[in-house]
Amino acid sequence: MTTLLPTKIASRITMSHRPQTTLFPIGSALVLAAVAIGCGPDFDPGSLIEKTRVIGARVEVDGAPERAAPAPGETATVTWLVTAPTAIPPLGWAFALCAPNALGKLSCDEAPLDLYQGTQSPPRVTIAVPGTDALGTAKSLILYGRICVSSVPTFDPVSGYPGCTDQGDGTTAAVSIKLQDPAFPNHNPVADRGFTFDGQAWTAGSDPCLKGPRVKAGTDEHVIAIVSDGGDRESYTAIAGYPPVPTALREALQISEFTTLGKLKTGSSFVEAAEAAPQTTVEVKWTTPAPVEVTAEAPVTFTFVVRDDRGGTDWTTRAVCVTP
């Protein structure tokens, strides 16, 4: 099969029209998001998983998976978090690696450095980071492409937009991969620091309809508590302010919450950089689905994605059993 190299790709998030686009920029504006959260009514149903979705990307340096920023000449693997209301369907994917463009958008202005394609689920791309002679002054790389559901990804030779064969549904996904700052290496946070559900310890892996927790349909105000560790918010120095000068900073954390049924009161929680406690617990409330939606006991899956300011990412899942 011949694969055509893309020349450009949309950098604007488009969630309601194809191509569906999911972008994961490094150094996202967690502070701005924190201002928007915490006021108003229940969170938009973007936290409800109603179809197959891409909700995260994790970068791991080969031989040092705790590191999120590879150095020139190293090998790194990018794993995409794909979730669905039930079982994840067969996937096909293709990604291109390129240098960042002058405007800092998640798009390619020049021919890709490399191309990757496969059917592995979850999508996992291993890249050989070019050496400093090839990278020049670049401080990051862009990985972008298309994850298709039950179809094969393609690239339009004219527009460069990724698509899917057989009119298959899919998501255009892009991530900026920051290269390592030798003085301040960036590590991935750890999502699974500790969870409780309605005050009881909540562990992963078991069938909740056999071992719990169990809740009735039509109930609300169930409290999910998530523990984060202060060590996941690393200190570093970056050029900031006006006039721009080297400034000591510390990462904040954003915890994005998703559910396959019911409704979360918020879709994101935050641990600010200024938080001094060695451990911080954030809470989110969940309402079970209405009784009319539950005809038999059924598991509900929650996914929690933790991101820091510099691109470190981790995730974990939990489940409860909803009964009629």
- With a CB cutoff of 8 Å and minimum separation 6, the contacts of 216 are 288, 322, 323, 324
Q: Does residue 185 fall inside a structural domain?
A: no
CATH code of the domain containing 138: 2.70.50
Last residue of a domain, one of 178, 210, 242: 178
Predicted confidence at residue 299, as pLDDT, reads 96
- With a CB cutoff of 8 Å and minimum separation 6, the contacts of 260 are 48, 49, 85, 86, 300, 301, 302
Q: Does residue 304 fall inside a structural domain?
A: yes
Q: What percent of the chain has pLDDT over 90?
A: 65
Predicted confidence at residue 23, as pLDDT, reads 57
pTM for the structure as a whole: 0.86
Q: Which two tokens stand for residue 270?
A: 């935050």
- How far apart are the C-alpha atoms of 141 and 118, rounded to whole Å? 20
**Cα–Cα distance list, 84 to 1, 16, 138 (Å):** 29, 17, 36
Q: Does residue 16 fall inside a structural domain?
A: no
Predicted confidence at residue 206, as pLDDT, reads 83
Q: What percent of the chain has pLDDT over 70?
A: 83
Q: Does residue 5 fall inside a structural domain?
A: no
Predicted confidence at residue 172, as pLDDT, reads 84
On whether both 162 and 25 belong to a single domain, the answer is: yes
Give the number of other CB atoms < 10 A from CB of residue 293.
14
Locate all alpha helices (DSSP H) within the chain, ordered by sequence: 30-36, 132-135, 208-211
Q: Per-residue confidence at 45, pLDDT binned at 50, 70, 90?
A: low
Is cis: bond before 243, omega within 30 of 0? Answer: yes
On whether both 74 and 212 belong to a single domain, the answer is: no
**Least trusted range by pLDDT, from 16-20, 88-92, 142-146, 192-196:** 16-20
The domain in which residue 317 lies consists of 195-323
On whether both 113 and 171 belong to a single domain, the answer is: yes
pLDDT tens string 76-114: 999 999 999 999 999 999 898 988 877 777 777 777 888
On whether both 27 and 171 belong to a single domain, the answer is: yes
Does the structure show a pLDDT above 70 at 68?
yes
Does the structure show a pLDDT above 60 at 18?
no
pLDDT tens string 206-236: 899 999 899 999 999 999 999 999 999 999 9
Domain tally for the chain?
Answer: 2
Last residue of a domain, one of 178, 205, 233: 178
Does the structure show a pLDDT above 90 at 256?
yes
Does the structure show a pLDDT above 90 at 17?
no
Q: Per-residue confidence at 278, pLDDT binned at 50, 70, 90?
A: very high
On whether both 141 and 218 belong to a single domain, the answer is: no
Amino acid at 146: R
On whether both 281 and 311 belong to a single domain, the answer is: yes
Q: Does residue 9 fall inside a structural domain?
A: no
